[in-house]
Amino acid sequence: MVDAPRAPADPAGQQRSADAAEHRRRIGAELARLFGSDWMEIPAGPGVSNADRERATLGAMRAGARFIWNAALPRDPVGGRRGRIDLLVRANEGYLPVLVVRHKVTDPGTGARTSPLSDPQPTGSRSDPLRKVRAQPRDQLRLVHTRALLQACGQAAIGRATGGAIGLDADVVLWHDLEAPTWPGGRTAVAEYESRFGDRLAIADAAAAQAQPLAQPSRIMDCRSCPWWPVCEHALTEARDVSLVVRGEDATALRALGIRTVDELAALNPATPPPGVPPGLLLADAVVLAKAWLANLLVVRRVLEPDVPRADVEVDVDMESFGESGAYLWGAQLSGPGIDEPAGYRAFVTWDPLPTRDEARSFAEFWRWLSNVASRAHAAGHTFRAYCYNELAENRWLLGSADRFAGEPGVPGRREVQKFIDSDAWVDMFRIVSDTFLCAKGKGLKTIAPVAGFHWRDAEASGENSMRWYRDAVGLDGDPVRLDQRQRLLAYNEDDVRATQTLREWMSSPAIRDVPYIGDL
């Protein structure tokens, strides 16, 4: 597959990796300060090969270093493993692995085994009165993997398999007992790892030997950001695979019933489902989606007449955020008469690189403008509504901005924002689209708005690309600021709000009857 075409790297994933690397750097610096001469860091970067790092790590372990940061374990020639770990801690005549991760590793509760950062040893741990373990299966599997590498080079700590994790809050080390039967079916992390690793080796061995493949693609959520999607999409489309129209777990269950293709699914009679259909699967919808896919239809109407709440004065809203760093742009498109405010698009934006306090200023200006429009509409005897597409993101940053910038000039209180969110004036078009249509290729705005006749001016418009443009627009990588990318982002945001407007106007018009009705398929 070396020469197979791959999708470009997912910028959201790249940003998460960069944030995680920064988090690790910060924790590493803090620990280095705490442990002084007991701290050893394995060099990395240009000019340092993996083999160099593996040799340095082995040397440090043989020398008995107390803490080894940024370790690269020697390859395991027998087991076929390789890997790195943030921290190795000397304990019980060997080493314990510790991960530094940028997600939560505990929840409020009791009973997690934790030790302070200043004493990152299981012997210094206690049953935490304020935290319970958040399982984080991937962390546990990574720890078992590192332990296997340590065993392979004779450097694993003696005793029960144990590994640590320093999470987002970075205030304690959580210790996982990797031999505790905490996994489904009473399995342990060690047993789960061995089973999964064995599977992966078998799949890789079969591929290397060009034998019958032991793994086949099946569309799941991860496909969206997977570089292999062009390969898998081609294979799935060729096979007319059932996962193209139902969720991953439903596809697995349907295959087990012998329903492997979209054609076989479309041929089912939902009134007489075969025994064993997964309980969560809405078979009638799945059959219609299969028929729509076969007929090359993007959408099918579930209802005769969509119910789209409209108003005299209408505002379409779209927010642009950058990872977890903040919401840098609130775009709004005003339509409707009589409030002495020009119709059209306006942007409330900060171009200071996030995170920045200037975000409070742009958010406050947006909120003030929106509240003013609503008040003036009501004062003039008009109805008012604001629309977005998938309120989860907007609501998160509306409430989050009220919390983060509480007390800043013009920033509304959380209660005021929540009242607006709960009101009839805030309409989520994504929910209405979900109630109105079955969509064979997803319900994203970029998929559904073109059905309503809307097209983005920028052929490369996408959420992923907007993250790249933002980096350039504020010079995030140390490069010069690119003003053209700011204009591009503004145009992209304007098109997003105009897309929502076009969509709801189309759904309220007679043209909606041209969309095939579910009962007619």
CA-closest candidate to residue 106, choices 161, 165, 146, 162:
165
Pick the binder of ligand SF4 from 222, 324, 416, 460 (CB under 6 A): 222
Is 229 a binding residue for ligand SF4 by CB under 6 A? The answer is yes
Is 432 a binding residue for ligand SF4 by CB under 6 A? The answer is no
Is 479 a binding residue for ligand SF4 by CB under 6 A? The answer is no
Q: Closer CB to ligand SF4, residue 205 or residue 222?
A: 222
Pick the binder of ligand SF4 from 117, 226, 399, 490 (CB under 6 A): 226
Choose one: 214-222, 311-319, 422-430, 476-484; the region binding ligand SF4 (CB under 6 A): 214-222
* Distance of closest approach, residue 182 Cβ to ligand SF4, in angstroms: 27
Residue 3 — φ and ψ, nearest 5°? -95, 5
Our CA angle for 110, 115, 117, nearest 5°, is: 130
How many residues in the shown chain lie near ligand SF4 by CB under 6 A? 9
CA-to-CA distance for 137 and 431, rounded, in angstroms?
32
Pick the binder of ligand SF4 from 12, 44, 58, 223 (CB under 6 A): 223
* Distance of closest approach, residue 430 Cβ to ligand SF4, in angstroms: 24
* Distance of closest approach, residue 220 Cβ to ligand SF4, in angstroms: 6
Is 217 a binding residue for ligand SF4 by CB under 6 A? The answer is yes
* Distance of closest approach, residue 353 Cβ to ligand SF4, in angstroms: 32
Regarding beta strands 299-301 and 437-439, do their DSSP bridges make them parallel or antiparallel, or are they unpaired? Answer: antiparallel
CA-closest candidate to residue 120, choices 155, 162, 148, 153:
162
Residue 468: exposed, middle, or buried by beta-carbon count in 10 A (0-12, 13-18, 19+)?
Answer: middle
Q: Which of residues 122-161 bind ligand SF4 (CB under 6 A)?
A: none
Site string for ligand SF4, 245-284 (x = CB under 6 A): ----------------------------------------
CA-closest candidate to residue 203, choices 187, 215, 189, 190:
215
CA-to-CA distance for 22 and 324, rounded, in angstroms?
13
Query: How far are the Cα atoms of 466, 479, 489 from residue 484, in angstroms, in the given order?
Result: 13, 14, 9
Is 239 a binding residue for ligand SF4 by CB under 6 A? The answer is no
Residue 427 — φ and ψ, nearest 5°? -120, 130
Choose one: 148-156, 196-204, 223-231, 373-381; the region binding ligand SF4 (CB under 6 A): 223-231
* Distance of closest approach, residue 216 Cβ to ligand SF4, in angstroms: 8
210: left (phi over 0), alpha (psi -120 to 50) or beta: left
Is the separation of the CB atoms in 166 and 98 below 8 Å?
Answer: yes
Pick the binder of ligand SF4 from 99, 105, 232, 299 (CB under 6 A): 232
Evaluated on CA atoms 113, 116, 121, 124, the torsion sign reads negative
CA-to-CA distance for 337 and 456, rounded, in angstroms?
26
Task: Please report, as ranges, the residues that interact with ligand SF4 according to CB under 6 A.
Answer: 217-218, 220, 222-223, 226, 228-229, 232
